[in-house]
């Protein structure tokens, strides 16, 4: 097996992948429009070679990871797939339907969609670390034209860095992440944006508010891209959430204590079960 890995996009996720794969003994080559990130990674001893232009990429990589905002990933895949025929190309995008459909349409059989459910609210290579993926779920979204052998190779690689691999249909993936990741980011941003109504709100925003809105410190570019990439799913979820709040508002207006109590009781029960399952 060739021991070279290409990372396109050396931010938090790409940088963390580079660090953990370097620790596993792979030779890492990297491309990023922010040349400084790659240069720092080379000085750190993480990246062996800087790729100046994707047009110059050679077919020498066992795995190539696309780690850029989702609306840019298809363009990168198109470039890489014209150069890399032998190795596996994958991505780490938070949405999978668009890029998987593109790969099917173009017959890119060596592309296998992927998405690590890992990250922090911080961005950039400087905040990357090699244990980011330890214990995290990592979605793999194969398409019909993928080789089963190559899917297994990617699974083995991802498992080797401490992830729990889950194979899932790409449409189902986008529905799941819409509920557990994308909508919460929209809600979090909404709560923070409400602070602009009065500066005194910012002064007294304490631990609880900071905890629930921590994810709003994430990259605006990344989340704007995700919102449009998963637009159909999010529009349905936003309507459901509006309906939920509208019902709560109605119960509050009508002084229906039992319904308001049930709203919080159900949430506590579900949340406690989630935490309990995580401990197991």
- DSSP structure string for 69-94: -HHHHHHHHHHHHTT-SSSEEEE--S
Average pLDDT, the chain: 93
Higher pLDDT, 198 or 104: 104
Dist CA 118 CA 135 (whole Å): 9
**Token pair recorded at residue 151:** 């899917």
**Do 225 and 93 touch, CB atoms closer than 8 A?**
no
The CATH classification number of 4-168 equals 3.40.50.720
pLDDT of 194 reads 84
E strand segments, 142-213: 164-167
**Do 70 and 231 touch, CB atoms closer than 8 A?**
no
pLDDT of 147 reads 95
**Domain boundaries in the chain?**
4-168, 173-279
**Token pair recorded at residue 235:** 């529009």
The CATH classification number of 173-279 equals 1.10.3660.10
- In this predicted structure, the answer to whether residue 1 has a pLDDT above a threshold of 50 is no
Dist CA 8 CA 16 (whole Å): 12
Q: Is 14 helix (H, G, I), strand (E, B) or coil?
A: helix
pLDDT of 218 reads 86
pLDDT band at 276 (very low <50, low <70, confident <90, very high): confident
**Do 139 and 166 touch, CB atoms closer than 8 A?**
yes
What percentage of the chain carries pLDDT values higher than 90?
82
pLDDT per residue as tens digits for the range 208-228: 888 888 888 888 999 999 999
**Token pair recorded at residue 6:** 């290409």
């Amino acid at each position: 097996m060739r021991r070279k890995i290409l990372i396109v996009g050396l931010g938090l996720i790409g940088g963390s992948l580079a660090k953990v794969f370097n620790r596993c003994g792979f030779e890492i080559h990297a491309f990023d429009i922010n040349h400084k990130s790659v240069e720092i990674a080379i000085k750190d001893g993480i990246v062996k070679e800087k790729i100046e232009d994707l047009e110059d990429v050679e077919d020498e990589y066992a795995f190539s990871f696309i780690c850029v905002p989702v609306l840019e990933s298809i363009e990168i895949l198109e470039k890489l797939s014209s150069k890399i025929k032998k190795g596996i190309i994958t991505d780490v995008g938070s949405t999978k339907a668009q890029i998987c459909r593109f790969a099917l349409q173009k017959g890119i059989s060596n592309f296998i969609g992927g998405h690590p459910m890992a990250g922090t609210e911080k961005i950039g290579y400087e905040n990357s670390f090699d244990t980011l993926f330890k214990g995290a779920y990592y979605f793999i979204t194969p398409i019909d034209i993928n080789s089963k052998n190559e899917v297994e190779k990617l699974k083995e690689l991802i498992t080797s860095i401490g992830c729990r691999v889950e194979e899932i249909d790409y449409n189902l993936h986008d529905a799941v992440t819409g509920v557990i990741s994308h909508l919460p980011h929209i809600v979090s941003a909404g709560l923070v944006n409400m602070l602009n109504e009065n500066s005194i709100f910012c002064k007294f925003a304490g631990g609880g508010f900071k905890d629930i809105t921590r994810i709003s410190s994430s990259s605006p570019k990344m989340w704007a891209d995700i919102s449009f990439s998963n637009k159909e799913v999010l529009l349905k979820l936003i309507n459901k959430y509006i309906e939920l709040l509208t019902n709560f508002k109605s119960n509050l207006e009508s002084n229906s204590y039992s319904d308001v109590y049930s709203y919080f009781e159900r949430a506590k029960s579900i949340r406690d079960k989630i935490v309990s399952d995580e401990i197991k």
